[in-house]
């Protein structure tokens, strides 16, 4: 978690960042891939809502077509028109690859790029050439950006060296009002689940292979040697976002086995609901679970994974996750993003240190345990 401790050499710069007086009228164009329907980029949409509550005037644009050359040309023209009409002070691309690249070549205005996971990580769900092209477009956009944000240190390490040390690490926030502990039996009754059957919750989204479904199924078989009846409930992206807290509270444990991640939101959401987590060491999960009990980081081994699941189910305890994850609240994250915006604008106006000085705050990943 981040909130209390940070690298000593970064503290003076961060203090200057928060000392910058917020602008009264700050316009930001937020560019998001997809159409904004359902659970698509829900964490980004929530971040934008949090920024709006802090007084940022955010205009959201969804890139609807990103694959064909004709579609890309049309979206680039539409983005140019939006920038010309809205006249934002900052353009914020909330994903890398084509989204960030189009923003980079559409305007000379200050550009913030947030990398969230598969835009820099390899993705087994797509072809090799497409994956390499996506990675290249992300790196080009990062070189153009005024400020790069990565949601984890692991993701930051994927940047080319010329941008790596200038990137800011800020995980996505969690809505602590929506994600809060509910009595397990009450949640199960509302879902129609059996009251006495241990249930492991696993989020595949729309990428079951990349999320490690095979490992989790193998681990469940191992756990069943000690827990004779154990069910696996899968979140496949069809559950409405506002119902996810209900599924979390109904589960005994959340499993995560992804090959690549940025800062998986399901982990922070589970912590906010005090639900134990068993996960491989991926993305920033080890940092998120530090100080959380019961929860476990395991090797990518079905026996170790399965035994960890069995241990947690047998203990029958809720975790202390909520008290640890509070510093990852949406409000805290939005305040830091707002601080980045204000710094960029003030820096360009010559009223604060140069933006490049702020960008040197590369290791401002906070920890709740100094």
Query: What are the residue ranges spanned by the domains of the chain?
Result: 8-173+329-359, 184-326
Angle at 64 between CA 58 and CA 68, to 5 degrees: 140
pLDDT one-digit tens code per residue, 274-311? 999 999 999 999 999 999 999 999 999 999 999 999 99
pLDDT on residue 23? 59
Q: Which fold has domain 8-173+329-359?
A: Rossmann fold (3.40.50)
How far is Cα 343 from Cα 360, in angstroms, rounded to an integer? 13
Token pair 């444990």 is at which residue? Answer: 253
How far is Cα 309 from Cα 302, in angstroms, rounded to an integer? 10
How far is Cα 102 from Cα 355, in angstroms, rounded to an integer? 22
pLDDT on residue 68? 82
How far is Cα 261 from Cα 284, in angstroms, rounded to an integer? 8
How far is Cα 214 from Cα 224, in angstroms, rounded to an integer? 16
Token pair 């790596």 is at which residue? Answer: 164
The neighbour count for residue 252, using CB atoms within 10 Å, is: 23
The pTM (predicted TM-score) of the whole model is 0.85
pLDDT on residue 360? 34
Scanning 251-366, the segments in alpha helix (DSSP H) are 265-272, 285-289, 302-315, 321-325, 330-348, 355-359
Whether residue 294 has a cis bond before it, omega within 30° of 0: yes
Q: What is the architecture, at CATH level 2, of domain 184-326?
A: 3-Layer(aba) Sandwich (3.40)
How far is Cα 134 from Cα 120, in angstroms, rounded to an integer? 8
Q: Report the candidate in 348, 356, 258 with the shortest Cα–Cα distance to residue 300.
A: 258
Query: What length does the chain have?
Result: 370
pLDDT on residue 206? 82
pLDDT on residue 97? 93
Which residues of the chain register pLDDT less than 50?
A: 1-20, 349-370
299's CB contacts (< 8 A; 6+ apart) are: 280, 281, 305
pLDDT on residue 125? 66
Enter the tokens of residue 39.
């659970």
pLDDT on residue 56? 96
pLDDT on residue 357? 37
Token pair 């809720």 is at which residue? Answer: 318
| Neighbouring-strand partners of residue 147 | 112
């Amino acid at each position: 978690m981040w909130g209390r401790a940070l690298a000593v050499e970064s503290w003076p710069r961060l203090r200057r960042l928060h000392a910058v007086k917020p602008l009264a009228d700050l316009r930001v164009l937020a560019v998001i891939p997809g159409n904004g329907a359902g659970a698509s980029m829900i964490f980004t949409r929530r971040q934008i809502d949090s920024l709006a509550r802090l007084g940022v005037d955010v205009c959201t644009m969804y890139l609807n077509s990103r694959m064909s050359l004709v579609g890309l040309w049309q979206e680039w023209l539409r983005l140019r028109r939006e920038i010309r009409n809205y006249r934002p002070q900052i353009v914020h691309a909330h994903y890398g690859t084509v989204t960030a690249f189009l923003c980079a070549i559409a305007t000379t205005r200050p550009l913030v790029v947030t990398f969230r996971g598969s835009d820099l990580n390899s993705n087994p769900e797509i072809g090799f050439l497409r994956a390499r092209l996506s990675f290249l477009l992300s790196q080009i956009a990062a070189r153009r950006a005024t400020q790069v944000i990565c949601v984890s240190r692991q993701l930051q390490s994927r940047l080319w060296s010329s941008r790596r040390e200038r990137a800011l690490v800020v995980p996505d926030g969690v809505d602590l009002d929506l994600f809060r502990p509910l009595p397990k039996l009450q949640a199960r009754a509302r879902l129609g689940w059996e009251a006495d059957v241990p249930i492991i919750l696993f989020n595949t989204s729309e990428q079951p292979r990349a999320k490690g479904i095979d490992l989790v199924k193998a681990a469940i078989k191992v756990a069943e040697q000690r827990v004779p009846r154990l069910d696996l409930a899968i979140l496949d992206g069809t559950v409405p976002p506002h119902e996810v807290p209900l599924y979390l509270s109904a589960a005994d444990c959340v499993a995560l086995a992804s090959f690549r991640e940025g800062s998986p939101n399901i982990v922070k959401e589970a912590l906010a609901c005090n639900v134990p987590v068993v996960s491989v060491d991926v993305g920033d999960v080890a940092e998120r679970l530090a100080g959380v009990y019961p929860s476990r980081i395991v090797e990518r081994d079905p026996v170790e994974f399965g035994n960890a699941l069995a241990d947690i189910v047998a203990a029958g305890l809720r975790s202390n996750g909520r008290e640890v994850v509070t510093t990852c609240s949406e409000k805290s994250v939005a305040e830091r993003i707002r601080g980045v915006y204000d710094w960029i604008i003030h820096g360009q106006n010559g009223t604060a240190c140069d933006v490049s000085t702020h960008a040197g705050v590369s290791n401002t990943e906070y920890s709740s345990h100094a």
